[in-house]
Structure 1
Amino acid sequence: MSLGDHLRELRNRLVKSVLAVVVCTIAAFFFKDKLLHFLMHPLPACDAAGHPKSGDKHCAKIAVIGVTQPFNLTLKVCLTAALVASVPIWLYQLWSFISPGLHRHERRYSLTFLALGTPLFLGGVTCGYLLMPTTIEVLGSFTPIGADQILPVEDYLNIATRMLLVFGLAFEFPLLLVMLNMGGVLTGKRMLGWWRGMVMAITVFAAVATPSADPVSMLALAAPIWVLYFMAVGFALLNDRRRRRRNPDADLSDEEASHLDLSVQEVGAAEEVAASGPESASPTPLASVPPARSEQVDDDIT
């Protein structure tokens, strides 16, 4: 395919993904109240007297500021739910765009990655949702004594949606490393050599990605990615060993020559060869020889 064909194919895949998100957003609009209640459930709301409920150290008064804010909040919640619900669709569109450039066995692996990508994303979203009460409690602990915390719903939903999407996408990182290893781009040995830098990079990413500055939220995001990273390294090492058994030169780069066996081997004794008997000559009958024609000789001379 030409570059223009690739761009048109990418446009079609993006349009299908966007349409899937739009359809899921419209469907989520009919459940907006339940979705809002689901996202705001981790928020420690105050009781009627303005005091924390039983089991909560802090509480926040929820406020909706502005005329258009309720509509914006509803749209944001429905869009976030649509992104999560349409994960299999846009992952499939991504795989369909990449699969024509893969071999048959690589396509089989890609289907496996697609089947694993959806539960990993949903697992990250679940982890972020379960961590939400701790995040809100840590952030609320900085409220001055005697002051009432009035929390706009928009600020809380920004934190909630950011955590859910970041946690979901972060859980896809080890799967990306496995895909690069299956494609021959990364080796398990190289990935294992990066473990110190990767642990540090994952920790810094968790510290930046989590809205709160507490170590609990940071470790809650970093620890699962550490485990998934080392699982990806173990899988890559096993895959490299399997590939090496099939092809000893599988780990060589395109600019590295393969090993040649230049050892001198001993030449054995010469074998005796018996002479074959003379073949019986069968005379050709004269009748089978075509008579010469003078016309043919004249043509040849001409």
Structure 2
Amino acid sequence: MAKTVNNPDEMSFLDHLEELRWHLIRSIVAIVIVACVAFLAKGFIFDVILFGPKSLDFPTYKFFCRIATFFGVDSEFCGDELPFTIQSRLMAGQFSAHIWTSIWAGFIVSFPYVLWEVWKFISPGLHENERRHSRGFILAASSLFFLGVLFGYYVVAPLSINFLGTYTVSTQVFNEIDLASYVATVRASVIACGIMFELPIIIYFLTKVGLVTPEILKKYRKMALVIVLILCAVITPPDVTSQIIVAIPVLILYQASIYISKIVVKREAKKEKKNAK
């Protein structure tokens, strides 16, 4: 087991590595345990969750179908089923997809615990007031991550699957999508959005260490908009509507990050004045 040291400043480099090793081990164990549960729940994970966006009964498709019907517009979101099938062309294709999907499910579900382990490792190096101001870190970061995961699953993934699954260059070509490719599309949409929604947390810590200021965020707002659109183009189908739908919440998070950065700067300024007295 790792050593228990009352004063973190007295820990040697090897002690820190030992401490980090046990935090990583506990995080991996948590991911593996949840992954085993996900592995056993194969039917629910694949038939309900992963293959949910393949059916036009999916809530997202119904929502866009109602909007199209309200405005009297024909929509590809209204129909019986998407015109593509999923196949596995490799001998171990389905088993491999089962294993990796379980591991990623383990990571997503265990994310709050992994964050908690990270926090336990870095918090001893913080001042008491810094720990006090960061008490909601795990809750805020986990909430943003899961919000991003839900956004990726209910918005980005179905838009991508609907566009790419129905896109054809000729009536002579049929879309028979490989299982690994389909799973990768859903996984990329979910994980990418989960990470993007952590933007306010990232800005908070970058501001704390002095690498980012509200002025810098405002100055490079236009550049940030371009980067956001590029990221949206990578994780969404190449149509303007999908990119705008994904870009809107990210830009809102960017604006929220500016306000968070302002709050951090004000707190740091108050702290410096207090210490100067």
Choose the corresponding residue for 1:5, options 15, 20, 29. 15
Q: CA shift at 1:149, angstroms?
A: 1.4
Structure 2 residue identity aligned to 1:213? P
Structure 2 contact 86–182 (Cα < 8 Å) conserved: no
Corresponding residue for 2:27?
17
**Larger radius of gyration between Structure 1 and Structure 2:** 1
Corresponding residue for 2:71?
none
State yes or no: 1:133 paired with 2:158.
yes
Corresponding residue for 2:52?
41
Q: Take 2:34 and 2:163, find their aligned partners in 1: how far apart are those partners? A: 33
Corresponding residue for 2:186?
160
The SS at the match of 2:34 is helix
Deviation per CA, 1:157-216: give whole Å up to 9, x if none: 0111111111101111221101232454433233222222222222222223x0532333
Q: Take 1:224 and 1:178, find their aligned partners in 2: how far apart are those partners? A: 18
Unaligned runs of 5+ in 2: 1-10, 57-75
What is the aligned-residue RMSD (CA, Å)?
2.5
Unaligned runs of 5+ in 1: 46-51, 251-257, 259-302
Q: Take 2:34 and 2:55, find their aligned partners in 1: how far apart are those partners? A: 29
Aligned length: 244
Corresponding residue for 1:102?
126
Identity between Structure 1 and Structure 2 (%): 27
Q: Structure 1 or 2: larger helix share? A: 2
Choose the corresponding residue for 1:55, options 76, 79, 82. 79
Deviation per CA, 1:56-87: give whole Å up to 9, x if none: 58411122223211211211221121111001
Q: CA shift at 1:239, angstroms?
A: 3.9
The SS at the match of 2:135 is helix
Q: Take 2:162 and 2:22, find their aligned partners in 1: how far apart are those partners? A: 44
Q: Take 1:55 and 1:161, find their aligned partners in 2: how far apart are those partners? A: 25
Q: TM-score, normalised by structure 1?
A: 0.73
Q: TM-score, normalised by structure 2?
A: 0.79
Deviation per CA, 1:5-36: give whole Å up to 9, x if none: 22222211111111111111111122111010
Q: Take 1:91 and 1:137, find their aligned partners in 2: how far apart are those partners? A: 34
Q: Which shifted more, 27-36 or 180-189?
A: 180-189
Higher relative contact order (CA 8 A, sep 6+): 2
Q: Which shifted more, 77-86 or 134-143?
A: 134-143
